[in-house]
Amino acid sequence: MMTVRSELCAAWATPRKCPAMSEESATTSSPSTLQPRKRWGIVTQTVLLITSIATIAVVVAGIAVAPFVRSAAVAEASGALERLADLTAAYVERSDGRRPPDRLIARPLERILRREGVTGYLVSREGGLPPALQGSGISDDEFNALLAGESISSRGRDGRGGRILIEGRPVTGGAVILTQSVDVAGELGTKFLARIAAALALGLVISVGIAYVVARRLSRPLREAQGVAHRMAGGERDERLTPRGPAEVADIAEALNALNAALATSEGRQREFLLSVSHELRTPLTAIRGYAEALNDDILDPEQLTSVGATIGHEASRLDRLVHDLLDLARLGAADFHVNAADVDVREILTEAAEVWRTRCDRDGVTLTLAEAARPVYVHVDAMRLRQIIDNLMENALRVSPQGSQIHLAIHTDAAIADGSFAVIEVRDSGPGLSEDDLAVAFEPGALHERYRGVRPVGTGLGLALVDRLASRMGGAAAVTSSPGVGSSFWIRIPLA
């Protein structure tokens, strides 16, 4: 019993989807009716993203570097002015000393200084500060220290209010004072900033180019996957992608390959299913047409009419049942398929079914046994659909059970099998049984027919597919256990009332 329980738990734990459509999904517009929204490609988005990041980095770097560059430029200009002041003082010391002490320095040196944006003065104690340097920021103490033989370095403002650098060097009989505008000194920083900006802009262009190349390389497998997906949608099933690129992109390729293989398998099963259904439809039609032609040609003996009529009726019923099964299987996926559930005693349904099927079993030389429950077992189901499930299972069991064998029909309520919240109906045949692979597809239409057609008695699979889906619609489940060579047991779990 524990083995049966474990097998059932494993079988019921295996999910099988029952096609169904909710009212919400039925009223939702299909994707084909919606206007496609224009989207940017992954290359464009990647390039824009990298461009934005690189631009922000360039702007932030420029803002951060500019003050340091300007400070460094002014410091460099100040150092250069110091060295130039030293050179100018040395030049003046070597001159003949015949120029007035308050006169501008010699013209050749003056041209050099002007070329560097520097203004030079020779000053003495008697002449004092030139008018151009008065108010520049050189204090009397600094001026006296300069004349006393000390060098000075200072900053101030010119007559127009502009900031200047000041360097003073003592010479014989006076001093040399050089001034340079900070703005002129900052031109070096501006040039340096321009070069940095050009380098950053070049880096930005290079990064955009690299981003474009990388994005194109990354998106190539996606474009290939897109093409394969479109061809798959067009019905091609020989397509296969070679997984490459990043792991996520490679996963998409593998998923498409798996989907394509699954679609090919599903379509193959559908073709086989249609072939099997057409064969099942043709068999009773052929019998009916043959007997109809015989009746029309008046070639039957009067004593044969009764058996011929019975055969025609039997084949017509078989044809009617097959058509109804097809319709029910199709309608199970529709929103208007209703299950009229009510509280019923499952014992009564099993007894009625057993009486009907015992006659057919006796005719085929098969013994039908019924294990009834000792007390009423009320379940919440649609009685007509439950009878349809039992009939389909009995039809399948009788088909595979050889003459002289036995079919067992039972209801279980014990906790070892039914788990206390369900009742379990069992139909056990004496057929060849099912393998592990067969158990996985036993309730799929046409799957077993495709495997065993011409090998052993097998139906279209419509009945078992209906059993599974009807059980699911009534809140239950279907499962199958089997021992190859011994037989199979089909179990239907239905909720207790």
- Checking DSSP bridges between strand 163-171 and strand 152-157, what pairing results, if any? antiparallel
Confidence of residue 27 (pLDDT cuts 50, 70, 90): very low
**Residue whose pair of structure tokens reads 């919440």 in the numeric block:** 380
Percentage, residues of the chain above pLDDT 70: 85
Q: What is the pLDDT of residue 4?
A: 60
**Residue whose pair of structure tokens reads 């940017």 in the numeric block:** 40
User: What span, in angstroms and rounded, lies between the C-alpha atoms of 241 and 260?
Assistant: 10
50-95 pLDDT, tens digit per residue, is 888 888 888 888 888 788 877 887 888 888 888 888 888 887 777 6
Position 228 pLDDT exceeds 70: yes
Q: What is the pLDDT of residue 278?
A: 72
- Alpha-carbon Rg for the chain, nearest whole angstrom, is 50
Q: How far is CA 377 from CA 9, 382, 388, 394, in A?
A: 22, 15, 19, 21
Position 30 pLDDT exceeds 60: no
Whether the CB-CB separation of 339 and 474 falls below 8 Å is answered with: yes
263, amino acid identity: L
Position 479 pLDDT exceeds 90: yes
Mean pLDDT of the chain: 80
Whether the CB-CB separation of 81 and 165 falls below 8 Å is answered with: yes
102-159 pLDDT, tens digit per residue, is 444 566 777 777 777 888 888 887 878 888 777 777 888 888 888 888 999 888 887 7
User: What span, in angstroms and rounded, lies between the C-alpha atoms of 404 and 366?
Assistant: 5
Return the structure tokens found at 422: 């369900």
Domains of the chain: 41-236 (no CATH), 238-329 (1.10.287.130), 339-495 (3.30.565.10)
Q: What is the pLDDT of residue 345?
A: 93
Residues 447-462 have a mean pLDDT of: 75
Residues 359-371 have a mean pLDDT of: 91
Q: What is the pLDDT of residue 261?
A: 86
Position 452 pLDDT exceeds 50: yes
Which of the residue ranges 37-41, 257-261, 383-387 would you say has the lowest mean pLDDT? 37-41
492 or 191, which is more confident: 492
Q: What is the pLDDT of residue 11?
A: 64
Whether the CB-CB separation of 496 and 380 falls below 8 Å is answered with: yes
307 or 269, which is more confident: 307
Which of the residue ranges 11-25, 42-56, 233-247 would you say has the lowest mean pLDDT? 11-25
463 or 348, which is more confident: 348
Q: Which string of b and e fits 226-239 if b means at least 16 CB within 10 Å?
A: eebbeebeeeeeeb
Q: What is the pLDDT of residue 24?
A: 42
Residues 428-452 have a mean pLDDT of: 85
Nearest to 277 by CA among 107, 409, 453, 49: 453
Position 344 pLDDT exceeds 90: yes
Whether the CB-CB separation of 169 and 123 falls below 8 Å is answered with: no
Which of the residue ranges 94-103, 228-237, 457-466 would you say has the lowest mean pLDDT? 94-103
99 or 386, which is more confident: 386
Q: What is the pLDDT of residue 33?
A: 47
4, amino acid identity: V
Burial of 72: CB neighbours in 10 Å, binned 0-12, 13-18, 19+ = middle
Residues 277-305 have a mean pLDDT of: 78
167-221 pLDDT, tens digit per residue, is 899 988 888 888 888 877 667 677 777 888 888 888 888 888 888 888 888 888 8
Position 421 pLDDT exceeds 60: yes
Q: What is the pLDDT of residue 9?
A: 61
- Checking DSSP bridges between strand 422-428 and strand 378-381, what pairing results, if any? unpaired
95 or 298, which is more confident: 298
Position 25 pLDDT exceeds 60: no
Residues 472-477 have a mean pLDDT of: 90
Q: What is the pLDDT of residue 28?
A: 43
Which of the residue ranges 314-323, 324-333, 377-386 would you say has the lowest mean pLDDT? 324-333
**Residue whose pair of structure tokens reads 């460094």 in the numeric block:** 72
Which of the residue ranges 13-22, 142-151, 294-303 would you say has the lowest mean pLDDT? 13-22
Q: What is the pLDDT of residue 365?
A: 93
Q: What is the pLDDT of residue 280?
A: 64
